[in-house]
Structure 1
Amino acid sequence: MTIEGTLAVLFEYWPEILSIVALVLLSAFFSGSETALTAVSRSRIHTLEANGDESAGIVRRLIERRDRLIGALLIGNNLANILASSLATSVFLGLFGNSGVALATAAMTVILVIFAEVLPKSWAISTPDRFALNVAGTVRLFVAVVGPVSSFVNAIVRWILGLFGVNLSREVSMLSAHEELRGAVDLLHREGSVVKADRDRLGGVLDLGELELSDIMVHRTAMRAINADDPPEVVVRAILDSPYTRMPLWRGSIDNIIGVVHAKDLLRALAEPNVEPENLDIVKIAQKPWFVPDSTNLEDQLNAFLRRKQHFAVVVDEYGEVQGIVTLEDILEEIVGDIADEHDLDIQGVRQEADGSIVVDGVVPIRDLNRALDWNLPDEEATTIAGLVIHESMTIPEERQAFTFYGKRFIVMKREKNRITKLRIRPAETEETKPQ
């Protein structure tokens, strides 16, 4: 066919060709809009809407009913693609006869993949917020028209899936809000946008509802307390020599805590006329103890501390026996941490050796090690590093006994009675993850 003949044929089919171009552009619009509106940052849109951006408000309302939005865009996208392919087939049949079907299929596949799918979606995913704001008004009008059809289609889909026992929720995310936040923070940390210290602080806030007081309390074996039956001068000296502001007061046994002595209350009492350490009644200046169950989560306990304006509580188990103490500062340390530098070990009971191994006291919490060294040792079944070794080995190890799990080699350096008091930890030489 000559050039003049080809031009004549093209001129004959120019309405169809222009329609195909318009439909491909329309399909690109739907594809890009779908990608942008599903990838848009909800927090960013919320901020823009709060600042008075009307387009952001439209975007928020659209993504609130995501199933209706996506259904409408998919309907528009498929209608545009099918109609464009049908017109192309008609044109190619007129130009090439029966072989036009195969040629039209090949040509439209290439055109639609490049110009109606990959190109607009790549553009949209590169700047989803801006793209979504620009198309929000047009998409809203389209969804208003096609929305009822989309809802009907979604209802059919849910009914069909329901026949196979699949319950498709409308807007419930597979991840909780905390999991989404944690995943976003971890991703930004890996990308270098969030430093480790900030990631740990945000993670500490998100973990408050998952941790119980038994995970962070000062255990009764490490708790410093005062015996109310000791001579008053001995009690006064013990309080003044203590690095703590508040100390529990017990009588008879450690399970019978009768008060909490505040150092300031002691100093005020000693400042009274005619009051000497020898004739001081320590019980009278002690505050009433506050007992809390060890199963209380840290979020609830933090709120309780703030509500009652107290800083100190005695932790008891389900039988009322004292398990330890917890302070407001203990909970705050779960958020801010106690690591001054990412590369310096600043945990009490942790020492780095020249050979690269870590010598750890058995009572060091697993969470503190994970936070300081960026490890991922599990803390669901045990709170301390010694508890983890006992749990994984299912025995109370002897000195110099070694175990390998979770990519680390644990060597028991010291044991006192049934307690592991010191461990050496180094990277495992093999990929084993279970105790040996």
Structure 2
Amino acid sequence: MATGLWLIALAILILIVMSGFFSGSETALTAASRARMHQKEKNGEPGAQAVNQLLQIKERMIGSLLLGNNLVNILASALATSLFINLFGQTGVVYATLVMTLVVLVFAEVLPKTWAISDPDSFALRVGPYVNVITKVFGPAMAAVEWIVTRIIAMLGIEAKDNHAQSGQDELRGAVDLLHMEGSVVKADKDRFGGLLDLAELDVSDVMVHRTGVKSINLDDGPESIVEQVLKSQYTRIPLWQGEQDNFIGILHAKDVLRALSEVKGEAKDLDIVAVASEPWYVPDTTSLKAQLNAFLKRKSHFALVVDEYGEVMGLVTLEDIIEEIVGDIADEHDIDVKGVRKEPDGSVLVDGSVPIRDLNRALDWELPDEEATTIAGLVIHEARQIPEPGQGFTFYNFRFRVLRKERNRITSLRITPVQPVQ
């Protein structure tokens, strides 16, 4: 009799250990990183292949582990009830319930799950091969369970949705934001990741230099004046126009001008400027930055003029403009340092109206919307539903915007002050 009771106690202990295995495996395998497991499999790390196979059939895997966990827990509870009844009579049912609840909670649930979540990848690698076998053994039973569940859901009129439809870009963006909040990714790297992911969502009109800011040269100025302007310019490529300022006939490259100047022995008056200029390349303003980047790489070009649906030139876009959306502003020894954003001691910020909203958000870690406008002046006009006069102020998105200067219909300078939201 005593031997039988000891065997029952041993069986209960084994079942508790098995329950802990099922609980810990479920936690580790659901928390394991698919990206890291994929890389580990490529590196030939043992167990990674089994884990990746399980992650591809996650529902079946979780169902098999739950089935195994319920089987061992119910069997352990039944054996414990039998054991305590033999020891204490009918009151043993109460004792068995209390003891098994505590034991299962601590040793079969909390302990293994806490252990697994502390290092899910390592835990998953160790248990993956065994869980793979368990999933295959319980596969037919789980297929039947899934069939029954599907029919019940259909009878209740509930539509089963595929949760795997989430965009890969959204998943990457969320992971980077989370790692930044945890301190694993610095803000600069987070901004670069975000800029890279935004390429498919932004158009060239969002990053182009507007035609009001385009530096161009009039062909009628004459070769000598044109050469002088090219040499004094901070830009390597300069649009060339004739007649009307929107009538671009070519793009001058400083190297081409210098090369042609060398061929005529430095006599600028003998240059054929039109022959030196390259043909302008026009792209629609609705072209995505991702598509334009690929086009730049394919054509081995760095410069394009942007036109709207009517064929009117809106501005220009360069390869550097697109790269800056990823890495931030790129400054070299020839760039002129224009202070478009200046912080004031009182906490306000002086901003040029032409500063892009995305650049302002990136510089100051703000979250002003950029869906309806590209520049900060455009955002104020859109929200105010008017062209404000100097001195007017507006409050929206928890910021106070005050117009400082205006030229014709363009806001050229604003003061922006963060406003604490009312609790």
8 Å CA contact retained: 2:264, 2:271? no
Amino acid at match of 1:168: K
Q: Secondary structure at the match of 2:213?
A: coil
Alignment partners' CA distance in 2, 1:133 and 1:278: 75
- 1:87-107 CA-to-partner distances (Å, cap 9, x unmatched) read 222333334444433433332
Specify which of 324, 342, 359 is matched with residue 333 of structure 1: 324
Aligned residues: 417
Match runs of 1:306-385 below 5 Å? 306-338=297-329, 348-385=339-376
Match of 1:281 in 2: 272
Specify which of 20, 43, 50 is matched with residue 51 of structure 1: 43
Instruction: Indicate whether 1:84 and 2:52 are aligned.
Output: no
Match of 2:418 in 1: 427
Match of 2:175 in 1: 184
8 Å CA contact retained: 1:251, 1:257? yes
Shift of 1:339: 8.0
Alignment partners' CA distance in 2, 1:217 and 1:201: 19
Shift of 1:274: 5.9
Structure 1, 251-260 or 286-295: larger mean CA deviation: 251-260
Q: Secondary structure at the match of 1:296?
A: coil
Q: Secondary structure at the match of 1:229?
A: helix
8 Å CA contact retained: 1:158, 1:168? no
Alignment partners' CA distance in 2, 1:271 and 1:113: 86
8 Å CA contact retained: 1:408, 1:428? yes
Specify every segment of 5 or more residues in structure 2 that has no aligned partner in the other structure, as ranges. 332-336
8 Å CA contact retained: 1:232, 1:282? yes
Alignment partners' CA distance in 1, 2:416 and 2:214: 27
Shift of 1:11: 4.6
Shift of 1:407: 2.1
Distance change >3 Å, CA 41–CA 48, structure 1 → 2: same
Match of 1:70 in 2: 62
Specify which of 161, 168, 171 is matched with residue 161 of structure 2: 168
Alignment partners' CA distance in 1, 2:87 and 2:338: 80
Amino acid at match of 1:24: I
8 Å CA contact retained: 2:173, 2:197? yes
Shift of 1:167: 2.4
Match runs of 1:15-414 below 5 Å? 15-163=7-155, 164-169=157-162, 172-173=163-164, 175-273=166-264, 276-338=267-329, 348-414=339-405
- 1:95-138 CA-to-partner distances (Å, cap 9, x unmatched) read 44444334333322222121111111110000111101111111
Q: TM-score, normalised by structure 1?
A: 0.90
- 1:333-376 CA-to-partner distances (Å, cap 9, x unmatched) read 11111289xxxxx8741111122211000110111111111111
Distance change >3 Å, CA 101–CA 300, structure 1 → 2: same
Shift of 1:78: 1.4
8 Å CA contact retained: 1:71, 1:151? no
Q: Secondary structure at the match of 1:413?
A: strand
Alignment partners' CA distance in 2, 1:380 and 1:358: 22
Structure 1, 366-375 or 330-339: larger mean CA deviation: 330-339
Alignment partners' CA distance in 1, 2:315 and 2:108: 65
Match of 1:3 in 2: none
8 Å CA contact retained: 1:347, 1:368? no
Distance change >3 Å, CA 369–CA 98, structure 1 → 2: same
8 Å CA contact retained: 1:339, 1:372? no
Distance change >3 Å, CA 226–CA 140, structure 1 → 2: same
Amino acid at match of 1:166: E
Alignment partners' CA distance in 1, 2:241 and 2:87: 100
Amino acid at match of 2:345: A
Specify every segment of 5 or more residues in structure 1 that has no aligned partner in the other structure, as ranges. 1-7, 341-345
Alignment partners' CA distance in 1, 2:240 and 2:264: 24
Amino acid at match of 2:322: I
Amino acid at match of 2:77: S
Alignment partners' CA distance in 1, 2:99 and 2:404: 73
8 Å CA contact retained: 1:407, 1:431? no
Amino acid at match of 2:161: L
Alignment partners' CA distance in 2, 1:202 and 1:91: 60
Amino acid at match of 2:24: G
List structure 1 segments (4+ residues) > 4 angstroms apart after TM superposition: none
Q: TM-score, normalised by structure 2?
A: 0.92
Shift of 1:310: 0.5
8 Å CA contact retained: 1:414, 1:423? yes
Distance change >3 Å, CA 279–CA 208, structure 1 → 2: same
Shift of 1:381: 1.5
Alignment partners' CA distance in 1, 2:182 and 2:126: 28
Alignment partners' CA distance in 1, 2:147 and 2:60: 10
Q: Secondary structure at the match of 2:263?
A: coil
Amino acid at match of 2:274: V
Amino acid at match of 1:149: A
C-alpha RMSD of the superposition: 2.1
